[in-house]
Amino acid sequence: MMSALTKGFFLYLSKNRTLNRAAKKWGLKLGASQVVAGNSMESMIVKVRQLNERGLLCTLDHLGEFVSSKEEAVEAADAAVRTLDAIMSEGLNSHLSVKLTQLGVDIDIDFCLNNMRRILEAAEKYGTFVRIDMEDYSHYKLTLDILQSLRETYQNVGTVIQAYLFSAEEDIKKLQGVPLRLVKGAYKESPKVAYQQKKDIDENFMKLIKIHLLSGSYTAIATHDHHIIAKVKKFVAEQQIPRNQFEFQMLYGFRTEMQQGLADEGYKMRVYVPYGSDWFAYYMRRLAERPQNVSFALKGLFFK
Ligand code: FDA
């Protein structure tokens, strides 16, 4: 069992700007290539094509951290548009995932909205969907407000609801008809706003999945938890929910056999594919999250 100390150590590394800067020059190291689909557009295209050929859909995330100026946020928006261009020109079966902090939401909300509009225009032209990842609770309400404002003009945008939040049920009821990705939640949140126990989070997760599916809304169930997946399969069969009303999602490199198994059974299975030279913090967060992932890094040290 990995100690809180080790977890804290990886999270500490993820926030270290010097290491993050240095890692951009290293190329993918320490086994990161198992969970990041390359540090260039070219390598990403090869990986997505391989996944598509095996019947797996994708959503691409161009990695980026520490955006603190408008120039950096514009660069992130440019990278998102370039990713959409590649989806179109290479005929990839993929959506796009973005983070509002990368697009300047902490600098200026209207500026961030304009960056989002530019991305959504390109996505609309190409018939692609854009998902706004949900970040920590300090950005939660703002993200929902921005989504609502964007959906007045664009239908090809949705977001994520985290089952650990007490307000999640009320919020998904307000978001009926909006395509949502439902997750357990990845950040450390206060007991004032979020469930802390796995059992409570899992129960709420299933409850939200059922509510959103029964409302007829498109639902992405993003989890590596085989217990939840088994329950979802049973529920959709009992309720005769059509397979084109939902999909499963997992991260690139995680439970790949299970991903393939679901696709082979005829479920829509979408892989969240991070790529780009800014891979270090993403990889450190994955190591912090799950002890077993550390073996990736150890193998990487010895066999790369
Ligand atoms: P959890 O980590 O609770 O694991 C449950 C059980 O599943 C484990 O006890 C183990 O038995 C099994 N298991 C899990 N992972 C395994 C593995 N790799 N190998 C073998 N067994 C494994 N969060 C957020 O806050 N905002 C967001 O926008 C997103 N977006 C997002 C997209 C996608 C595609 C995914 C998959 C996840 C996210 N998340 C997220 C992260 C999410 O909130 C959550 O933190 C992680 O998915 C971990 O929770 P799980 O539901 O996967 O299972």
Candidates 61, 131, 181, 278; catalytic one: 181
CA 254 to CA 97: how far, in whole Å? 18
Instruction: Determine contact, residues 293/274, Cβ cutoff 8 Å.
Output: no
Instruction: Determine contact, residues 250/272, Cβ cutoff 8 Å.
Output: yes
Positive or negative: CA dihedral 235, 240, 242, 245: negative
- Render each residue's pLDDT in the chain as its tens digit; 304 residues: 556 667 778 888 888 878 777 777 777 777 788 899 988 999 999 999 999 999 999 999 999 877 889 999 999 999 999 999 999 999 999 999 999 999 999 999 999 999 999 999 999 999 999 999 999 999 999 999 999 999 999 999 999 999 999 999 999 999 999 999 999 998 889 999 999 999 999 999 999 999 999 999 999 999 999 999 999 999 999 999 999 999 999 999 999 999 999 999 999 999 999 999 888 888 888 888 776 666 655 555 444 3
Bridge partners (DSSP) of residue 28 are none
Q: How many CA atoms lie within 13 A of 107 on its CB side?
A: 19
How many residues does this entry show for the chain? 304
Write the residue with the smallest CA distance to atom 43 of ligand 1.
185
Ligand 1 atom nearest to CA at 205? 51
Quote the ligand 1 centre to 279 CA distance (angstroms). 19
> Does ligand 1 come within 6 angstroms of the Cβ of 296?
no
Instruction: Determine contact, residues 119/80, Cβ cutoff 8 Å.
Output: yes
Instruction: Determine contact, residues 105/121, Cβ cutoff 8 Å.
Output: no
Instruction: Check residue 95 and report its DSSP letter.
Output: E
> Does ligand 1 come within 6 angstroms of the Cβ of 271?
no
Candidates 133, 270, 278, 286; catalytic one: 133
Q: φ and ψ at 234, to 5 degrees? A: -65, -45
Ligand 1 atom nearest to CA at 220? 34
DSSP helix/strand/coil, 29: coil
The answer to whether 181 is a known catalytic residue is yes
**Residue of 181, 246, 256, 192 whose CA lies nearest to 224:** 256
> Does ligand 1 come within 6 angstroms of the Cβ of 250?
yes
What ranges do the domains of the chain cover?
37-278
Q: Per the confidence metrics, is the pTM higher than 0.85?
A: yes
User: Domain 37-278 is of which CATH architecture?
Assistant: Alpha-Beta Barrel (3.20)
Neighbours of 202 (CB within 10 A): 19
Question: Residue 161 CA to chain centroid, in angstroms?
Answer: 11
CA 278 to CA 276: how far, in whole Å? 6
> Does ligand 1 come within 6 angstroms of the Cβ of 255?
yes
pLDDT at residue 2, rounded to an integer: 55
**Residue of 90, 98, 138, 140 whose CA lies nearest to 119:** 98
> Does ligand 1 come within 6 angstroms of the Cβ of 131?
no
Instruction: Check residue 36 and report its DSSP letter.
Output: S
The answer to whether 110 is a known catalytic residue is no
